[in-house]
Amino acid sequence: MSRALRWINAPSVLPAIVAAIVAAIVPVIVAAIVLALAGCASTGRGPDADLERPPWPPAVEPAGDRTVFEIVEDASSLRVIVAPAGSLARLGHHHVIGGPVLSGRVLLGETADDSRIELAVDVAALVVDRAAWRAEEGLEPLDDDTIEATRSNLLGPEVLAVEDHPRIEVRSVSAVGPGWQADVTARVRVRGVVSELVVPVSVQRDAGRLVAVGAFDVDQTALGLQPFSTAGGALRVADSMRIRFRIVARPASG
């Protein structure tokens, strides 16, 4: 397989609105992952890389008026779908990346403004193109060599750079809207670059758990990175990414 084709295959009892913050993190995190997965430019810099970026919010310490929830990693899941684009898109593949890679905590206060979430994605644990996932997305399975080449590019220095940046981090800033579907503002840090996104999330409370699910589209360039492109744009990675998430959190023990 040529270098160009490998790149195209490479590739975010309290008011319910407060609980929504836990969901916001996933989509944002997912967005960051997807953009890297999608096969960003080798420099990792996009068209807006030199613009002023929002500051990274400080960590919040638990207080007496906050309830701490921990993300249940095995019950939570991230799914990112990226696609080829351009007149030669038929030479590339869609890819599905994700897995139970989310960890962190939710600090729930009496209001949304008093609540925060801190989430991380374990980059090294990302799985690429599992057959069952591809089937669920209406895609044919890929051979092992293609999957391995895609994952190698994903984790390599020109995309997610796992050795230097083992985690993608997300922290919430605010939330507004009804409890059944709040708009959550969160900041995501990938490869040291901070971006801010607003994501709609749906939340349910069940037997003491917080369960947030959702799906949305986000552009790689919204995160300041440039999708890979070659042959005058005839072979490239689509800017838009599809993200699905399910995050489950339980009250922290002790």
pLDDT(44) > 80: no
Residue 26, pLDDT > 60, answer no
pLDDT attached to residue 200: 86
Which superfamily does CATH assign the domain made up of 3-45+73-251 to?
Answer: Lipid/polyisoprenoid-binding, YceI-like (2.40.128.110)
Across the range 64-80, mean pLDDT stands at 90
pLDDT at residue 248 above 60? yes
Residue-wise pLDDT tens digits, 153-176: 888 887 788 999 999 999 999 888
Domain spans of the chain? 3-45+73-251
* pLDDT computed for residue 160 by the predictor: 81
Position 74 confidence tier, pLDDT thresholds 50, 70, 90: very high
Task: State the pLDDT at residue 50.
Answer: 58
Would you list the DSSP string of the chain?
Answer: --HHHHHHH------HHHHHHHHHHHHHHHHHHHHHHTTB-TT---TTTTS--PPPPPP----TT-EEEEE-GGG-EEEEEE-EESTTGGGS--EEEEES-EEEEEEE-SSGGG-EEEEEEEGGG-EE--HHHHHHTT-----HHHHHHHHHHHHSTTTT-TTT--EEEEEEEEEES-TTSEEEEEEEEETTEEEEEEEEEEEEEETTEEEEEEEEEEEGGGGT-PBPEEGGGTEEE-SEEEEEEEEEEEEPP-
pTM: 0.77
pLDDT at 29 over 60: no
Average pLDDT, the chain: 78
